[in-house]
Amino acid sequence: MAEMTYIQAISDALRVEMRRDPRVFLLGEDVGVYGGAFKVSLGFQEEFGPWRVIDTPLSETAIVGGATGAALMGLRPVAEMQFADFISCAWDQLVTVAAKQFFRGGTPIPIVVRLPSGGGFSGGPFHSQNPESSFAHIPGLKVVCPATPHDAKGLLAASIEDPNPVLFFEHKHLYRRIKGEVPEDRYTVPFGYANVHRPGDDATIVTWGAMVHTATEAADELAKEGFEAEVLDLRTLIPWDKDRVLEGVQRCSKVLVLHEDTRTGGFGAEIAATIAEEVFEHLDAPVKRIAAPDTPVPFSPPLEKAFIPQVDDVVKALRELAEY
């Protein structure tokens, strides 16, 4: 075991996979000589060479299209978007081509698209989005949102060996802020299995990504008042661990769904609807949902703080659940 930051765990996973499987290669804007916008692949081109760590033109369409073609030929490309926001330029290649190729011709498309996402650093509306729900709606894509260094390494290894296109959302605010113990050997974390980040029996908080840590801080605050909330980290949205969510609702009878993405059409709505359809009779309070408002992400630090769900917002919602 070694202590790693979130970004070190991602870099370590890429290095391990490239050493063990010559089919794995990286491509993206500045991933080679520069080492990536956030330095995830720093030194990779020196170790693996320019044909396995490829600096591409500034064209997300070309990056995803090239990755899809390489996957069709038996390779396992890992494409980096400098920011998750830029994936919109590659929507057609990803959604119309990569996601549907297996349905169209029975051909696996084992590509991973790494997507640095999320706010917390005043990046504004073009560098701070959490667009996971847009892609969770597309059959053929898998959506992964790790919250810890351990899960980041294990889920990235699982993503690379998966035969489907995988969107790997890395929250930028976690890159150098979160540390944890990570096995130095290769391992995988399976898709579709939530992790109990914090135990509790009075309410279940269903969340993912950076909001796992916001939820945990809020739950720890409420624990001082004797209210113990479970923090359930989904880890993957497609597939998502419906069984574990419903079990938490049945056991606790109160649930809060929390995410940083905007509210309308966010993946939290899918979770809330499923709870209402399948375990409504177990609820002792309406399902609560906390998300960002339906606006672009502000540049201004105070406005961005108001936009992103904060610990105080979660504490307030938990108190309301406790008193219901």
β-strand partners of 195? 233
Distance CA 68, CA 153 (A): 23
What single letter denotes the amino acid at residue 297? V
Nearest to residue 212, comparing CAs of 164, 279, 257, 255? 257
Whether residue 178 contacts residue 225, with contact meaning beta carbons closer than 8 Å, is answered with no
Asked if 173 is an active-site residue, the reply is no
Instruction: Name residues whose C-beta falls within 8 Å of residue 35's C-beta, 6 or more positions apart in sequence.
Output: 41, 42, 43, 44
Nearest-5° Cα angle at 30, 68 to 40:
90
Establish whether the linkage from the previous residue to 296 is cis, with ω within 30° of 0. Answer: no
Question: Among 127, 173, 197, 259, which one carries the catalytic annotation?
Answer: 127
Active centre residues (catalytic): 127
